[in-house]
Amino acid sequence: MAKFFKYLFVSFLGTLIAVLFFILVGVLILISVTGSSEQVVKENSVLVVSLDGEIADKVSHNPLDQFNPFALSGDQKIGLIDILKAIEKAEQDNNIKGIILKVDYVSAGISTLTEIRDALEDFKASGKFVLSYSDFYTQKAYYLSSVAQKVYMNPEGQVMLQGVSIRTTHFKSALEKLGIKPQIIRHGKYKSAVEIISEDKMSDASRYQMKEMIDDIWSHLKNSIAASRNIQVADIDTWADSLTIRNGKIAKEKGLIDEIKYFDEFLLECKDSMKIAQDADLNSVSLSAYINEMVTEEFSVVTESETQVAVIVAQGNIIPSEGDDESIGSENVSRMIRKARLDKNVRAIVLRVNSGGGSALASEAIWRECKLSAEQKTFVVSMGDAAASGGYYIAAPADYIVAQPTTITGSIGVFGVFFSGVELLNDLGITSDVVTSNANADMGTFARPLNPQEVKVMELGIEDVYQTFTKHVAEGRKKTQPEVDSVGQGRVWTGADALSIGLVDKLGGLKTALKVAIDMEGIADSVYVVKYYPEVLDPFSAIMKGITGNTVSTQVKETLGENYKYYKALVSASKTEGVLAKIPFDIVVE
C-alpha cells in the first residue's frame, strides 16, 4: 500500500510540475505580447505584410497556441479577419505611410486572397503606397502582389504563371487490393465526392462541372492581373501555355514586374517613396506585431455597446460534436449563433462560412439555429473559399448571401458510404460471429456488407435528406423545390455562376457582407460595434485553455509541415461513413 501511495504521489507531482511549467510559459509569452510599453509603430513607418504561411478565416490569440513545446517554435497560421482589420487600421494610422507586401509561398484559397487584394485596393485609394517584393512569385503570390503600384523581384527570381488545375485522388483499386468494399448510396448525378472510392478516374459529369469551375477561376485571375498590370488577358494565356516567364528579365519585358532589384536596393527605393534620406533608418512594423497591438487593445477596451453586429466564423469540416479552430462542430457553432440571437444588443448577424460540408445531421442542427436567427434578426452569410454542400445547407436560411466570384458553392446533394472488410478479414485469418435480437441488429458492421433490405432503407434515408435539403434551400431562396433540384443534383458552382442562378445575392467579401447587414438593419448612421465569434479570451482564460489543448495536433503539424493537409484528408476519410454532404477535391493554384 505504501508503494501505491508513493507512485500516486510521484504521478501527481509530475502532473503538477507540467501544469506549472505551461502556466509559466504562457505567462512569459503573454508578458512578451502585452507587457511592452514601447511604441509599436513609430512615425513615418511602413507596415510589412508577409504572408508566407497558412491563412485561416480566424485564428486563436491564445499565446500558448503560438507555442509548440516539441519544437520551441510558433504556429505560422494567421487569420484573414486579423489581416483585413490590420490593413484597415493602417489606412487610418497617420504613422503608417505605406505597405511592403512580401509574399513567396502562401497557403490560402483564391477567395481569401481576393479579400486581401480588395483591402489593399482600398488602402491605395487612401493615397498611401503598396510596394511588393519577392524572391520567387508563385501564381497565387503574384495574383495578390500584382495589386501593388510597383512590383519588384530578385534578379534570380521567377514568376509562375501556368493556370489552374483540380486533381482528385482515387482509392478504388487500393481498397480492392486491401479487400475493403464500399457500399455507396447518393442523390445527385454530380455528387462526385464518392468517386474517390468508387471510380479510378473522374466521371464525365464530374469532369464537366470541374472544367467549368476552373475556367471561371482562371478567368478571374487573368482579368484581375491584366487590369492591375495593364496587359492583355490573351497574353497571359499564351505565357501560361508556353511557360514563357522563365526569369525576371522576361517578366519585366512582358510588364509583369517593374524592377529587378536585390532586397537592399528595394529598401532604398522604399525610402525614396517615403522621401527620407538614403542613410536614414527605415521604420517598419511587422504584420504580426501590428496585429498583436490590436489584440492587446481588444483585451483592454470594453467593447460592449447597445448596438452590435455579430460576425460568427464557421470554418472546416462539419461534424456532429464540439468543433475546434479547424472544424465546424454542431454544438459550439449552434451555441455561438444562439448566443448572438438571444443577445438583445446584437442587431444583425453575419455568418462567415468556409466549408466544403460534412455531416448532414450536424448541418441540420446548425441550419435550425440559423433559421431561428433569420426569423428574429437581420442574418447575412459571407462565403469564403468554399461554402458548398453542408456549407450551403447552413447558409440557406440567410436573408442575404454574399460570395466571392471564385467561391466554391452549391453542391446541393447528399450521399452515404458504408465499408465492409470481409475479404480483408478473411485474408488476415480473422473471423467473427454474432448473436442478434433482430434481423438487422448488426447493420453497418465492418464484418459484413449491407443486405438488400438495409440498402433500400439507406436509399430512402438519402432521399429524405435530399428532399429536406432542397426544401430548406427553396424556402431560403424563395424558389420551388424543382427549381432548386435543377441547379442541385450535387452540382458545384463558382460564386459568379451562383449569382446568375440565384444561389447567392451579391459578389464580395466579408466587408461587403458587413455593409449589407448594417444597411439592411438601418444602423449605418449609428454607433455600433462589430463583435467576432469565437470571442477573444481574456489572458488568463486563454492560458488555461492552452494548457488543456491538443498538443498532439501541434506535433503532427510540426512534423508534417505542408503535408499536414493530406493527414487531415485521411482523418476525414476515416470518418466518411453515414449520410454526408460535402465536396471531394482541392483546387491547385501555385
Q: In the predicted model, is pLDDT for residue 298 greater than 50?
A: yes
Catalytic residue among 145, 389, 411, 420: 389
Residue 62, pLDDT > 70, answer no
End-to-end CA gap in the chain: 64
pLDDT in tens, 194-229: 888 888 999 888 899 999 999 999 999 999 999 999
Task: Dump pLDDT digits (tens) for 282-293.
Answer: 899 999 899 888
Q: Which residue has the higher pLDDT, 63 or 445?
A: 445
Q: How confident is the model at residue 587 (pLDDT cuts 50, 70, 90)?
A: low
Spell out where 306-440 has E strands. Answer: 308-315, 317-319, 327-329, 346-355, 357-359, 378-388, 400-403, 408-410, 414-420
Grid cell 466570384 in the structure block, residue: 405
Fold equal for 38-160+245-294 and 302-583: yes
- Domain parsing of the chain, residue ranges: 38-160+245-294, 302-583
Task: State residue 71's pLDDT score.
Answer: 46
Q: Give the mean pLDDT of 273-281.
A: 85
Cβ atoms of 504 and 477 closer than 8 Å: no
Annotated active-site residue 191? The verdict is yes
pTM, full prediction:
0.85
513 has pLDDT over 70: yes
What is the rounded average pLDDT of the residues 425-440?
A: 89
Alpha helices in 428-537 (DSSP H): 452-477, 481-487, 495-500, 510-521
Given a cut of 50, is residue 17 above it in pLDDT? Answer: yes
Length of the chain counted residue by residue: 590
Query: Pick the catalytic residue: 97, 128, 140, 191?
Result: 191
Residue 187 parent element (H or E):
strand 181-187
State mean pLDDT over 177-183: 91
Residue 273 — very low, low, confident or very high, per pLDDT cuts 50/70/90? Answer: confident
Instruction: Compute the distance between CA of residue 314 and CA of residue 383 in angstroms, rounded to an integer.
Output: 10
Mean of per-residue pLDDT scores for the chain: 84
Q: Which residue type sits at 386?
A: A
Question: What's the count of helices (H) and strands (E) in the chain, helices before strands?
Answer: 22, 24
**Euclidean distance between CA atoms 435 and 560, whole angstroms:** 44
Over residues 552-558, the mean pLDDT reads 53
CA distance 553 to 534: 20
pLDDT computed for residue 363 by the predictor: 95
Query: CA dist 312 to 230, 514, 544, Å?
Result: 38, 12, 23
300-357 pLDDT tens trace = 554 566 789 999 999 999 998 887 778 899 999 999 999 999 999 999 999 999 999 9
* 38-160+245-294 carries CATH number 3.90.226.10: yes
Between 204 and 517, the more confident residue is 517
The CATH homologous superfamily to which domain 302-583 belongs is 2-enoyl-CoA Hydratase; Chain A, domain 1 (3.90.226.10)
Q: DSSP letter string over 123-151?
A: HHHTT-EEEEEESSB-HHHHHHHTTSSEE
Question: Which residues contact residue 318 at a Cβ distance below 8 angstroms, ignoring those fewer than 6 apart?
Answer: 327, 328, 330, 355, 357, 358, 359, 362, 363, 366, 390, 391, 394, 581, 582
Q: Would you call 389 a catalytic residue per the annotation? A: yes
pLDDT: which is higher, 400 or 523? 400
Q: Residue 37 pLDDT more than 50?
A: no
Asked if residue 551 has pLDDT above 50, the reply is: no
Closest CA to 133 of 125, 123, 145: 145
Min mean pLDDT across 132-141, 292-301, 432-441, 469-478 is at 292-301
Average pLDDT over residues 495-512: 97
